[in-house]
Structure 1
Amino acid sequence: MRKMPVLYVIFAFVASACGSAPGSGPQGKVLAVVDGEPLTEATLRKEAENLPPYVRPILETADGRAKFLESVITRNLLMREALRRGIDRRPGVADRIGMARKSIVLEALLRDVAEKAPGLSDAALRRTYDANPSLHQVGERVKVSHMLFREKARALEIHRRVKAGEPFESLMKEIAARDGEVAADLGEIERGNFVKEFEAAAFASEPGEVTGPVKTTYGYHVIKVYAKFPAGALSFEEMKPKLLAEQREQAQRDAFEELIAGLKKQATVRVLYKPEGSPISPGAPVPVTAPRTPKAGDPGPPPQGK
Structure 2
Amino acid sequence: MHQHTVTLNNGVDLPAIGLGVFQTPPEATTAAVEEALRVGYRHIDTAAAYLNEREVGEGIRRSGLGRDEVFVETKIWINDYGRDATLHAFDKSAGKLDVEWLDLLILHQPLPSAFDRTLDAYRALEKLLADGKVRAIGVSNFLPAHLDRLLAGTSVVPAVNQIELHPYFQQPALRRVHAEHGIHTQAWSPIGGITSYRAAGRTTFDDPALLEIARAHGRSTAQVMLRWHLQQGRSAIPNSTRPDRIAENFAVFDFELTTGELAAIDALDTGVRGGPEPDSITLDAFGREIPEA
TM-score bracket for this pair, using the shorter chain length: under 0.3
Looking at both structures, which has the greater relative contact order when contacts are Cα pairs under 8 Å and sequence separation is at least 6?
2
TM-score normalised by structure 1 residue count: 0.18
Rg bigger for which structure?
1
TM-score normalised by structure 2 residue count: 0.18
